[in-house]
Chain A
Amino acid sequence: MPKKRVVLTFPPSLVSQPVTYHLVKDYDLMVNILRGVVTPNEESGLVVELSGAKHALEGGMKYLSETGIHVQPLGQDIKWHEDKCTHCTACIPACPTQALTVDRESMEVSFEKDKCIACELCIQICPYRALEIQF
């Protein structure tokens, strides 16, 4: 199923709009919220992953820009090179979304790409360049 990861920035006037409701109901899209800061009366942001049929995605994107929400594709992808990772766990506290996690029994680190919001906080932490930005 086609997917799109986008950063949505809402001006204060649009914060109360039921955007995700419309995306689901009117466009039959799956909306996965990766990260969000929503504060009434202030500019707010959401990082979402939309998945659905190709035409539904296009429709949803059109709807979003027409409402006045600023839509920006999520810039980069973060790649975790498993072969370079030593499972030291240095990056774990840095990751805000738990895309990087440790199994505390085995102490093994794993990366769930779907949870990664490409904030890049982990990049400078990894001493072995096991985490990399891919453009």
Chain B
Amino acid sequence: MSKTIQEINEKIKKGSAVVVTAEEIIDIVRKKGAKKAASEVDVVTTGTFGPMCSSGAYFNLGHTKPRIKIGGGTCTLNDVPCYTGFAAVDVILGATAMPDYDQRNSIYPGSFKYGGAHVIEELVAGKAVKLSATAYGTDCYPRKSVETMVYLADMNEAVLFDPRNCYQNYNVAVNCSDKVIYTYMGRLLPRIGNANYCSAGQLSPLLNDPLYKTIGIGTRIFLGGGQGYVSWQGTQHNPNVKRSDNGVPRMGSGTLAVMGDLKQMSPEWLRGASMTGYGVTLTVGIGVPIPILNEEIVQYTAVRDEEIFAQVIDYSKNYPEVIPGSVAEVNYAQLKSGSITLEGRQVPTGGLSSYVCAQKIAATLKKWIVDKKFYLSEPAALLPSVDSGISVKLMADRPVKK
């Protein structure tokens, strides 16, 4: 038996839709089988809460009196530079941007206390932020500078936009060298002293729809505590990688570009993060509902941590030098147990993506649907899948014409 998204929405409206989380569906499918589960369950909710550098927000700041054309000029929010290559008062703030005076990692290893991600978190928390802008002045936009305090509520539009988020699986990072290294995967101790991973595993959105059969452009999602949308496949979307028989990729693969109204969001689900020795990044809460259209889809959502494998990569050499090869392959049940066995030794594991928060997001999304506050949307187009021929390329290094 199969269902349509429209039928599911009607059930939500009537209050008869059965909604469970990606954790709860595991036992349901195990006890009842996929066929019965598919007919009984209408929606499975997923969640993830991990750091993602490819995050940012764009704002329309409102026009000043007299007008200023910040486009082509400069603009900072709490001293963090925004991108100003757009119209008069449209600016973009990236999560990883930092004030010019930040010492970066010139004092080893570098603490990266404050950046774009923190500005976004503070705006969403309702705090005042210092805006400074300069311009060259034109006949129609005469003003040359402005300095003021702004609130999120003042802005005409404030939109979270992540060109890439929601990574479908990810590397497990280790350090095979004999000195400590600081990476976006955290501090890695020498001689494989620890192993860090970053995925919600069985709760992660794209691991529950491994071949992108339901999630597509226009899918309505939980985003940062508000309702947002999948706007495109994410950058570096890479469907053609090694997969298990259950369709689940055994390494980083698909990604989502997402966007939504910042004014609906909450600082609980948008957190500025400082990665020692690396930089600033934004941790974003995302939850995607998966419509249970048929047996095949419900089977995908029943995936368990022990069936999801990831590659252990050396971040002292292989990752920075782009040398293929992994130290080992482990699954998320092993990673979550607190240690994995590598080269015959027990190696402690640490997470970067919060499972507790992922559970909370999946439960919140479930509640929204049950409470009729959230309806499923029909994707306008599905994401490129394994048959698309898409695979990620490196930058070409060509001689530059002088």
Where the two chains meet, the residues of A that have a C-beta atom closer than 8 Å to any C-beta of B are 86-94, 102, 104, 106-109, 124-125, 127-129
Contacts and interface: CB of A to CB of B under 8 A. Distances in A.
Nearest to A84: B271
Contacts of A93: 194, 348-350
Contacts of B354: 86-89
Nearest to B197: A89
Contact of A94 (B187, B281, B352, B356): B187
A128 B274 CA distance: 7
A87 B275 contact: no
B51 A89 contact: no
Contacts of A89: 349-351, 354-355
B283 interface: yes
A93 B336 CA distance: 12
28 contacts: A86-B283, A87-B354, A87-B355, A87-B357, A88-B351, A88-B354, A89-B349, A89-B350, A90-B351, A90-B352, A92-B338, A92-B350, A93-B194, A93-B348, A93-B349, A104-B336, A104-B337, A109-B356, A124-B109, A124-B187, A124-B276, A125-B187, A125-B350, A127-B281, A127-B283, A127-B352, A128-B273, A129-B274
B19 to A, nearest CB: 22
B275 A86 contact: no
Given A88-B352, A94-B187, A128-B273, 12 more contacts: A86-B283, A86-B356, A89-B355, A92-B350, A93-B349, A107-B336, A107-B356, A125-B276, A127-B51, A127-B274, A127-B275, A127-B281
Interface residues of B, number: 29
Determine which residue in B271, B281, B283, B355 has the highest number of CB atoms from chain A within 10 A of its CB, and name it. Answer: B355
A127 B273 contact: yes
Q: What are the 7 A-B residue pairs with the smallest beta carbon separation, nearest first?
A: A93-B348, A127-B273, A87-B356, A89-B351, A107-B355, A124-B276, A86-B354
Interface string B240-269: 000000000000000000000000000000
Contacts of A109: 356
